[in-house]
Amino acid sequence: MLNKVRQFNGFALSDRVALPLALMLFCWIAALDWVTSYELSLNPFYLILVGLVTWNCGWRWGLLFAFLSIVSQVLISFTAGQHAVKPLHFYVVNFNKFFSDVVVVLLLARLKILHEREKSSARVDFLTGALNNKGFYEALGVELARHRREGASFSVAYVDCDDFKAINDRFGHKMGDVLLAQAVDTMRSHLRRTDIIARLGGDEFAVVLPQTDEQTAARIIGKLRQELDLAMARREWRVTFSIGVGIFPVAPRSEDDVIAFADQIMYRVKSANKNDVAYDTFVVTEGDAAPAVESRR
């Protein structure tokens, strides 16, 4: 995608920046190749350019620049008369150059896939497929930035499994893992595609609901709680859920403030009767960064 930002060795280049830059470098290398002797090969420079294009723009662009580089070298060699000296040697040498470029493109394309997969796995909980702490903080940071840019309110639900330890004690940790995975599958099936699900602890989850006010959040979380209860009942798991939902018409100072606010609401539910949902609105009073809270259930 032309507007997607890609990374290479700590540098970030968008496709719309990388392609013009690569074309400029190609013209510079070709011009340098023209003015130098054909005995001085600049193929390593072409090869580096092909590698950079492949990493930042994809294998199709890499193959295109590999083709352009070999065409450029062949045309320059023709003008220098190199092809007339040993024709067979000339074509073998240039075929080997092109073959090397293609191998580099294919290897780098595969390496980029593995690199992206590793980056993704570092942000995903291996057990449930939800985001882990690192992935959640990054996603929440994006949501905070969007709120400050657009001003739309958002909500964060902190979900805790009640009596989860009893499942581990009675059926073993493997069954507990199945329960956690089932909980995330249920959330994923009954939340919007834009909502963010994360596992923050052993049996604690967080859900970010972008662009939701209190009424919308209450409808979404109310339905989700019913579906979670049904999923547990189908497996005869005596587990319920305590849920604290923070409504954020204004953005807190940091991701930690968001988590602390929603966590605080959840623990009030947990310390009362469990198996309930509470909603609070985050409000920053003038001259005070601490939230003023109004509790509702």
Looking at 76, 97, 121, which one is the last position of a domain? 121
Structural domain boundaries enclosing 243: 133-296
**Are 152 and 277 found together in one domain?**
yes
164-222 pLDDT tens trace: 999 988 889 899 999 999 999 999 999 999 999 999 988 999 999 999 999 999 999 99
**Are 177 and 284 found together in one domain?**
yes
Looking at 98, 121, 144, which one is the last position of a domain? 121
Query: Which of 10-19, 91-100, 105-114 shows the lowest per-residue confidence on average (mean pLDDT)?
Result: 10-19
105-136 pLDDT tens trace: 999 888 888 777 666 667 888 888 899 988 89
Taking the model in full, what pTM does it have? 0.62
* Residues in a beta bridge with 13: 6
Is 70 within a domain? yes
**Are 99 and 143 found together in one domain?**
no
Domain of 230: which CATH number?
Answer: 3.30.70.270
**Are 80 and 167 found together in one domain?**
no
